[in-house]
């Protein structure tokens, strides 16, 4: 069995796409055993509860330094005997303790075609605003393995999405989520569960 932890910081539409994929049997012996949130009171926690998935909150502000925060996150992942960590809109930083223990077993979804519009500061709506400011006609999403370089790990899947002339950051974000992220993130997790990809 592949025990999956999904790390989130917000609404959790990507988490929902993973829950739906699991319900549809896409993950074979894979199971989401934990939702770990970096924030309190986000809707993703409700989605976990609605589906009987345990959730924990590990918020950076509750720890004196990055080392303690990193250690707390590592302890939760260890406690649930996690095999695969999925960053699904997780907007906090991972430290060396988590990366050291789970390196090669962490997937992230990024809302652009890496290496465009990625790296430090490129998250959420900032990514789509940058794509519109640049004037690209095609953007998309990328699933990649996580290493110590922000958005720098091995690419697993990408899917392109057209930019429309009247797009706003919000309308583009929605199209990238629905037409790319919610498709390729469950696909990548299913590939991992079948042993087809390794970091
Ligand atoms: C998603 O668009 C995800 O790709 C992005 O945050 C959003 C979370 O939405 N992640 C990043 O920007 C990471 N660099 P969700 O909570 O509805 O899944």
Alpha-carbon 168 to chain mean position = 23
The per-residue pLDDT for 83 is 98
The per-residue pLDDT for 10 is 95
Residue 85 DSSP label: E
- In angstroms, what is the span from residue 106 Cα to ligand 1's centroid? 15
pTM, whole model, 2 decimals? 0.98
64 in catalytic set: no
Residues 136, 14, 159: CA angle, nearest 5 degrees: 35
- In angstroms, what is the span from residue 29 Cα to ligand 1's centroid? 26
The per-residue pLDDT for 93 is 86
Query: Residues of the chain whose pLDDT is less than 50?
Result: none
Q: Round to whole Å and give the CA distance between 137 and 163.
A: 5
Q: Round to whole Å and give the CA distance between 29 and 128.
A: 35
Inter-residue contact 92 to 124 (CB < 8 Å): no
The verdict on the CB of residue 140 being under 6 Å from ligand 1 is no
The per-residue pLDDT for 25 is 98
The verdict on the CB of residue 143 being under 6 Å from ligand 1 is no
The per-residue pLDDT for 5 is 99
Four-residue CA torsion sign, 121, 125, 128, 134: negative
For residue 114 the two structure tokens come to 């890496």
Residue in 81, 110, 128, 182 annotated catalytic = 110
The verdict on the CB of residue 139 being under 6 Å from ligand 1 is no
Q: Where are the alpha helices (DSSP H) in the chain?
A: 13-23, 43-50, 66-79, 96-102, 125-134, 169-176, 182-193
Give 172's contacts (C-beta < 8 A, 6+ positions apart): 128, 131, 132, 139, 163, 164
The verdict on the CB of residue 169 being under 6 Å from ligand 1 is no
Query: Atom of ligand 1 at shortest distance to CA of 91?
Result: 13
Query: Of 94, 105, 109, 117, whose CA–CA distance to 36 is shortest?
Result: 94
């Amino acid at each position: 069995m592949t025990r999956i932890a999904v790390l989130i910081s917000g609404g959790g539409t990507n988490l929902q796409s993973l829950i739906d994929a699991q319900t549809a049997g896409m993950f074979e012996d894979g199971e989401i055993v934990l939702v770990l949130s970096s924030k309190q009171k986000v809707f993703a926690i409700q989605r976990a509860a609605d589906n009987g998935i345990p959730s924990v909150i590990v918020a950076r502000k509750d720890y004196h330094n990055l080392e303690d925060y990193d250690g707390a996150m590592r302890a939760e992942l260890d406690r649930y005997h996690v095999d695969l960590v999925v960053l699904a809109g997780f907007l906090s930083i991972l430290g060396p303790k988590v990366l050291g223990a789970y390196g090669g077993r962490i997937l992230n979804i990024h809302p652009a075609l890496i290496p465009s519009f990625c790296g430090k500061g490129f998250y959420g709506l900032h990514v789509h605003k940058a794509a519109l400011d640049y004037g690209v006609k095609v953007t998309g999403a990328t699933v990649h393995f996580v290493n110590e370089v922000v958005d720098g790990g091995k690419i697993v899947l990408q899917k392109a999405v057209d930019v429309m002339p009247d797009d706003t950051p919000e309308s583009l974000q929605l199209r990238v989520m629905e037409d790319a992220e919610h498709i390729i993130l469950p696909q990548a997790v299913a590939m991992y569960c079948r042993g087809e990809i390794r970091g």
